[in-house]
Amino acid sequence: MTDANRQLRLAIYVLLIAVSVGTIIGRIGQMSANHGKHPFMSANDRSRWATIRSLVDYGTFAIDDVIADRRWDSIDKVYHEGADGKRHYYSSKPPLMAVMLAGEYWVIKHGLGLSLGSYPFYVGRIMLVITNVGLLLVMFASLVSMVERYGKSDWGRIFIITSAAFGTFLTTFAITLNNHLVSAAATMVAIDFGLRIWIDGRRESWLFFGAGLASAFAAANDLPALSLLGLLGLALLLKAPMKTLVFGVPGALIVAAASFGTTYWAHGSWKPPYAHRSDGPAIAQLDANVAGEAASELNEAKVPAVVRETFAAQGINLSETPELQVREAGDRWVLDDAIVDRRWALQKVGDVIEIRTWDSWYDYADTYWRDGVKKGVDLGEPSRLVYAFNMLVGNYGVFSLTPIWILAVVGGVMLLRSDDRQWRDVTIMIGTLTIVCVLFYIFRPLKDRNYGGVCSGFRWLFWLIPLWLVMLRPAADWCAERRWARWLAALLLLISAVSAAYPALNPWVHPWIYRYQEYLGWI
């Protein structure tokens, strides 16, 4: 009877996953974003596609040639000096994912003769099916393995798989190129391997290597997942020090080398683009005896002779017509020389004026990210209390949009109160990761409190979804024994599925709760 039940469960899993995947493939086939010109739905995914196309079609990370067609342009870009000494536009997204997908595009272009420039719909759809559906299948396979190992009831196991197939935003975002699905898939594999070691007591070397590789890959694609790498790594180090050091650490180092290596390859810097938001080092200064007179001319948008002489002493001969911008009169100026193709900041510090190299990559002529240009949610939420409310139970709320996670909280409490110390440890780790991640975003500066921009859910927490699915198990098994609880769980899943399905053809829209508040005039 047990074997028969298991075979029936597996058949149901296959059916649920097939329906979910089939629906996703159908939605990918219906894409007609960007006024029907390209199957790319937002600035976020266009930025990634631009890099993929530029790498294969033009042999460079610079996306100037691609975004010359404005339909390919994106606000998610930076502007800085490249290896050729000239300034170029680059995607602001970490390049590791783009490099990997460029290999996929290269095979499609040379194998099928289809290019993103000429056949964006065909190539885009082919790559989304291969990449995103492939990631989902990996996730589902790991989740099925976990529910079969640790689930106590047929109903509970099927409920968890149904939740994963229809009740989370991971399937919503499977029709667009994004890093969150990549990170979530890696997180699912990492926790699967970690539980095999921690709960099941297994010690195969490949499990440690895989856990290190997967958790590092999650972090490389979604920076807050660095906390998973740290906590899971510490747990495995305590459980099996030698195995973790000999096999787990090398797995993580491979990803770290790939991540930092592609960043340096793309930008000539070990730091990712988002870390370049301030001035570079000072290369010269105007002493106090000339700074005052120079400041007066700079305030009139003129380049003083003493400034030209100071640059010349550094081997930099400014052209006759550099552009001078007064950012803060008497305090800060920006010098941009289109002929020399470089930019500098002039900053008053005490009685002197420092000339600094330019390292603010998001600050360029047509940038969207400058104060006074940004709009809507990108302005940031002034109140941290309101931000926390909306993140958790408001218009972008984790629990209001997808209330199945209420059951994950219940499941976590049940595990904490159980006699199983190993599962208590796992629950503490997942709870800690969730709380740390939530607090991280609540206490971000104003400009970063923007709910992840225009999107259908609080996407910065999506990488945690596999961990929350693990926490569903005890609550689902408890509900399986009570009819009223099963109906309640089904209702929570229905609401979650509706939220996930609302943006079926474009996840880069506001959630339905936000839209309804707009309709009521509250926003």
- For residue 46, what is the enclosing H or E element? helix 43-57
What CA–CA distance (Å, rounded) separates 153 from 290?
81
**Which pLDDT band holds residue 10 (cuts at 50, 70, 90)?**
very high
Kindly report the CA angle at 173 between 169 and 178, in degrees rounded to 5? 125
Single-letter amino acid, residue 330: G
Q: How many domains does the chain have?
A: 1
**Which pLDDT band holds residue 374 (cuts at 50, 70, 90)?**
confident
What is the pLDDT at residue 36?
A: 56
Single-letter amino acid, residue 37: K
**Domain of 321, in residue numbers:** 282-357
Q: What is the mean pLDDT of residues 495-500?
A: 98
Kindly report the CA angle at 260 between 258 and 264, in degrees rounded to 5? 110
Is residue 348 one of the residues assigned to a domain? Answer: yes
Token look-up 């109906």 returns 487
What is the pLDDT at residue 41?
A: 85
Is residue 482 one of the residues assigned to a domain? Answer: no
What is the pLDDT at residue 33?
A: 52
Q: Which of 8-12, 39-43, 277-281 has the lowest mean pLDDT?
A: 39-43
Beta-carbon contacts of residue 156 (< 8 Å; ≥ 6 apart): 147, 473, 476, 477, 479, 480
What are the pLDDT digits (tens) for 154-173? 999 999 999 999 999 999 99
What is the pLDDT at residue 152?
A: 95
Q: Which of 25-34, 193-202, 239-248, 381-390 has the lowest mean pLDDT?
A: 25-34
What are the pLDDT digits (tens) for 180-221? 999 999 999 999 999 999 999 999 999 999 999 999 999 999
Q: What is the mean pLDDT of residues 453-467?
A: 96
Token look-up 């100071």 returns 310
What CA–CA distance (Å, rounded) separates 419 from 427?
13
**Which pLDDT band holds residue 510 (cuts at 50, 70, 90)?**
very high
Is residue 319 one of the residues assigned to a domain? Answer: yes
Q: How many CA atoms lie within 13 A of 304 on its CB side?
A: 18
Q: Are 53 and 66 in contact (CB under 8 A)?
A: yes
Is residue 349 one of the residues assigned to a domain? Answer: yes
Beta-carbon contacts of residue 500 (< 8 Å; ≥ 6 apart): 166, 167, 168, 169, 171, 172, 402
Beta-carbon contacts of residue 94 (< 8 Å; ≥ 6 apart): 179, 220, 221, 259, 262, 263, 272
SS3 percent helix, strand, coil of the chain, rounded to 5, is 65, 10, 30
CA distance between the termini of the chain: 56
What CA–CA distance (Å, rounded) separates 72 from 64?
10
What is the pLDDT at residue 228?
A: 97
Residue 281 has pLDDT above 70, yes or no: yes
Question: Could you give the 3-state DSSP secondary structure of residue 305?
Answer: helix
What is the pLDDT at residue 234?
A: 97
What CA–CA distance (Å, rounded) separates 130 from 104?
9
What CA–CA distance (Å, rounded) separates 168 from 174?
11
Closest listed residue to residue 512, CA positions, set 377, 397, 405: 397
What is the pLDDT at residue 195?
A: 98
Closest listed residue to residue 284, CA positions, set 313, 255, 258: 313
What is the pLDDT at residue 37?
A: 63
Residue 1 has pLDDT above 70, yes or no: no
What are the pLDDT digits (tens) for 291-343? 989 999 999 999 999 999 999 999 999 999 999 999 998 899 999 999 999 99
| DSSP structure string for 356-381 | EE--BTT-STT-SSSTTT--GGGG--
Single-letter amino acid, residue 292: G
What separation in angstroms does the CA of 5 have from each of 316, 396, 491?
A: 77, 39, 25
What is the pLDDT at residue 491?
A: 98
Residue 39 has pLDDT above 90, yes or no: no
Single-letter amino acid, residue 276: H
The encoded tokens of residue 407 equal 């059951």
- CA-based max dimension of the chain: 93
Q: Which of 100-109, 147-156, 302-311, 373-382 has the lowest mean pLDDT?
A: 373-382
Is residue 346 one of the residues assigned to a domain? Answer: yes
What is the pLDDT at residue 32?
A: 58
Q: What is the mean pLDDT of residues 244-267?
A: 98
Q: What is the mean pLDDT of residues 456-460?
A: 96
Is residue 128 one of the residues assigned to a domain? Answer: no
What CA–CA distance (Å, rounded) separates 312 from 305?
10
Is residue 344 one of the residues assigned to a domain? Answer: yes
What is the pLDDT at residue 94?
A: 95
Q: Are 355 and 282 in contact (CB under 8 A)?
A: yes
Helices (H) then strands (E): counts for the chain: 22, 7
Beta-carbon contacts of residue 46 (< 8 Å; ≥ 6 apart): 34, 38, 40, 72, 73, 74, 76
The encoded tokens of residue 226 equal 């660095």
**Average pLDDT across the chain, whole number:** 94
Token look-up 């509706």 returns 498
What is the pLDDT at residue 4?
A: 84
Single-letter amino acid, residue 340: V
DSSP 131: I
What is the pLDDT at residue 518?
A: 92
Closest listed residue to residue 482, CA positions, set 163, 167, 160, 155: 155
Q: What Rg do the C-alpha atoms of the chain give, in angstroms?
A: 26
Closest listed residue to residue 306, CA positions, set 284, 286, 324: 286
Is residue 333 one of the residues assigned to a domain? Answer: yes
Residue 34 has pLDDT above 60, yes or no: no
Beta-carbon contacts of residue 270 (< 8 Å; ≥ 6 apart): 260, 263, 264
High-pLDDT (> 70) share of the chain, %: 98
What is the pLDDT at residue 123?
A: 94
